[in-house]
Amino acid sequence: TGPAYTFMSGSSLGGLISTYAAYAFPDVWGRVASVSPAYWPNTAIFAFATSAGRAPAFERFYQDMGTGEGGSAIPNMRTMRDIALAQGFVLGDDLAHVEAAGHEHNEFYWAQRFPDILRFLIDAPAPGCAGDVNGDGATDVFDFSDLAAGFGAGPGATRAPSTCAPTSTPWA
């Protein structure tokens, strides 16, 4: 147990809560994904995250938003990105910030982004083939197994080199 083995992800208000949890409970959450986070109803999250600072155990922070979500959604997410960068997160390394072109605020689009969210959180190799989580060049039942094993691998775990030609990830 502990932050190295404890991840959280939520969408919309769940995304806001996930970001809050990472800063409010730094000894619990080590990797967090805020999917289309609803920062707009509670912009106090920005001051809270700034004052709380980044805990050493806060290893990876993912946030995304569709460009079709409208209003202040993208600007607010960029504000949180800038706070994370000021705290030492590195974009494309331990911070993922994705602005998904044309995506809207609903489960259909979140489901399309979720495989990459999991890859980022567990530090899985970039897929060479669609659905190839373990990088063995095939999309098969072993991808599920390796994905599940990645959640328990803990810090410093290594994976076999990929035989697929890696593709870029949305955060790189």
Q: Using only the alpha carbons of the chain, give its radius of gyration.
A: 16
User: What per-residue confidence (pLDDT) applies to 48?
Assistant: 98
Model-level pTM?
0.76
pLDDT along the chain (172 residues), means of 10: 89 97 94 96 96 95 95 95 98 95 94 90 67 66 62 49 49 53
At residue 140, the pLDDT reads 66
In terms of Cα–Cα distance, which of 86, 85, 72 is closest to 38? Answer: 72
Residue 113 in tokens: 């982004």
pLDDT given for residue 67 in this prediction? 95
Token output for 13:
């208000």
